[in-house]
Structure 1
Amino acid sequence: MQYRLGPGDLLEVSVFQVKDFNKVKVRVDSVGDVALPLAGVVKVGGLTVNEARQAITRQLAATYLQDPQVSLFVDKSANERFTVDGAVHKPGVYPMVGQMNLLQAIAMAEGPTTLANDSRVVIFRAIDGKPMAARFDIDRIRAGTMIDPPLYPNDIIVVDESGLKSTLKGIVDNLRGFLYFQAYKL
């Protein structure tokens, strides 16, 4: 699954041996266009980084340069996000910061709670329009016996809550209340 450029993405464009075109920062506008020096307006919305680089190269070749060597980098993506839910301290939607993996995502959500079932962490993802899910074990990832999977934009991570831990916590909480009221009555 390759990232597709969209409105709000900040791009860094350079053209080899063109002084005025070294690390030019440009933001993709609301209709998917970028306005570049020497090239003018180029449609990049919906394209992969490589496709956008080729479009900019074609535009520069047609308007100004002979055989331009263009490099393109997504400096900041406005569209790449993932969700962490379930038994974590801070569930929510988070921006992707470069290439990320599962443990980094859970760390951004301030880690699993004491009620989390570390062996039941699921990543939900759409692949070719079809919903898919894969289960991971945080303890095995930390031990190095399971791969720490990379994340993709729009992934949903759910950290399951342990039924046994939840039940025990409920019993302990109820006993605390009972013991408190018993001691209060004496």
Structure 2
Amino acid sequence: MQIFRIAILAIAGISLAACASSPKPIATAPGIQLVDLDALPSPEGDGGAIVRSQDTLRVSVLGFADLSRELKVDATGAFQFPLIGLIQADGRTPIAISREIAQRLDGRFVVNPEVTVDLMEQPGRVITIGGEVSRPGRYPVTGSMTLLEVVATGGGATDTAQLDDVLIFRKAEGERYIGVYNLGAIQRGNYADPVVFAGDIVQVGNSPTLKRIQMLTALSPLLTTPIILLERLLR
């Protein structure tokens, strides 16, 4: 059998002080243990501002409308730009690309060019929203988004959604993590609205994963200190 490790961020639980005064079962299910983490780790190489192949860029050269245009980075990670030819873009920031274009235009074609490069579309950077939202599906991530913004992108939670049962699935540090959140508590300011990254899966409402992890049913929605759990599953 292969062992899978799942770390779970349970941000929908009781306060530690309440635990001390009224002990409740936490991490009592087989294979569950508390770990010393206070937030979901960020995914490696998230690269929200890094250009990849198939991305669409908008290049603007101030005062030269005929040079300003939208371009798609091809499968090799490059694109052709008027007058100067091939620009390698994959793995670079828009600022680095704009500087190269400006340097190659300067003197020969344009005097002191002012070039800006904006990321317009990154088809490989998506989040998946499922469960009790009005419009479940996959959505592009064009910048930093929080959990509340992601749920709103999916049309908002339905009337039957359980707001204290919202999960973020994430792969990071060679593990699979699950953050358990209470949207109502976030809206009340009990804890920060977490950032959601490309590649994450957000599940709103009844979750088979949450039902399987029975010890989470003992948690209250007012936690301000996260509890991180590590689960080892045998398959």
| Bin of the TM-score, shorter chain as denominator length | 0.5 to 0.7
Of 32, 35, 40, the match for 2:80: 35
Q: Which 5+ residue runs of structure 1 have no aligned equivalent?
A: 167-186
Paired with 2:62 and 2:173, the residues of 1 have a C-alpha distance of 36
Tell me the amino acid that sits aligned with residue 85 of structure 2.
Answer: G
Q: CA deviation at 1:36?
A: 1.0
Q: CA deviation at 1:94?
A: 1.7
| 1:74-119 deviation per Cα after TM superposition (whole angstroms, max 9, x unaligned) | 1222222100123334432122355432223212323334543312
The structure with the larger Rg is 1
Q: Which residue of 2 aligns with 1:26?
A: 71
Q: Which 5+ residue runs of structure 2 have no aligned equivalent?
A: 1-45, 212-235
Tell me the amino acid that sits aligned with residue 150 of structure 2.
Answer: A
Aligned length: 163
Q: Which has the higher contact order (CA 8 A, sep 6+)?
A: 2
User: How does 1:76-91 map onto structure 2 within 5 Å?
Assistant: 76-91=121-136
1:14 counterpart = 2:60: yes
Relative to total residues, which structure has the larger helix share, 1 or 2? Answer: 1
Q: Which residue of 1 aligns with 2:193?
A: 148
Paired with 1:64 and 1:5, the residues of 2 have a C-alpha distance of 26
Question: For the structure 1 residues 77 and 146, does the alpha-carbon distance in structure 2 shift closer, same or farther, using more than 3 Å as the test?
Answer: same
Q: What TM-score does the superposition give when structure 1 sets the normalisation length?
A: 0.68
Tell me the amino acid that sits aligned with residue 13 of structure 1.
Answer: V
Q: What TM-score does the superposition give when structure 2 sets the normalisation length?
A: 0.56
Paired with 2:140 and 2:60, the residues of 1 have a C-alpha distance of 25
Equivalent position SS for 1:118: coil
User: How does 1:90-109 map onto structure 2 within 5 Å?
Assistant: 90-96=135-141, 98-109=143-154
Please identify, of 30-39 and 83-92, the stretch whose mean Cα deviation from structure 2 is larger: 83-92
Q: Which residue of 2 aligns with 1:176?
A: none
Q: CA deviation at 1:35?
A: 1.2
Paired with 2:190 and 2:117, the residues of 1 have a C-alpha distance of 36
Paired with 1:13 and 1:33, the residues of 2 have a C-alpha distance of 14
Q: Which residue of 2 aligns with 1:121?
A: 166
